[in-house]
Structure 1
């Protein structure tokens, strides 16, 4: 039983190590081929295999929906609706800026997630710049 478990463990570990390098080349029929060993006598390209970002990484916002002619015509007919919607959106954004500013003021050890999914610590200088930007945004847009 122990020998089987050890053999499975080594088998899984070796498959992870072996899958680290991949190569791509075009065969004689013009079909792209992929493999873990480069072909002999043919031009090949080494594929960059990187690990996926960690769970809970940054989520990207969906692309905004295109405006239709109907919604633009409706907005022209009833300007109060758009003014109310803009005021509600501005109030929501101001509340978010206030919450972010409070978080930055109360927590000197902040971190952020980069586009690559890496979590990096925000330095004190960057934190102060972010707080100053939030304060100026509040003063400019929320008063």
Structure 2
């Protein structure tokens, strides 16, 4: 048991010592490559692998502190307004995406049908389909301009 533990410890320590040198280069296809041996006849960079990144990824700058002159109520109201604006914009984009999909369906399918209030399936005529296409285009023009 003791010999196995000693062998395992030396194995782990030697693997750390071997893996200290890493090189980076770009191959003929433009793809970055990494290895423990530098390539023959190509320029390469030595990669420092001794420092591990902090837990959670790369270090970030701390968030700026709020100014003391700012009114907390105004800041809270502006945050609420900004969230409401983002939600409204997201809803508008979703509706525009649905409107574009509906227009594609109207334009590419000449034989459309729908279910009326009585639960019966009825076919949409060509004149009505053209009116729906014109209305969908007008709605896209009015509501989905960027």
Query: What's the TM-score bracket when you normalise by the shorter of the two chains?
Result: 0.3 to 0.5
Question: TM-score of the superposition, structure 1-length normalised?
Answer: 0.46
Question: TM-score of the superposition, structure 2-length normalised?
Answer: 0.46
* Greater Cα radius of gyration, structure 1 or 2: 2
Q: Which has the higher contact order (CA 8 A, sep 6+)?
A: 1
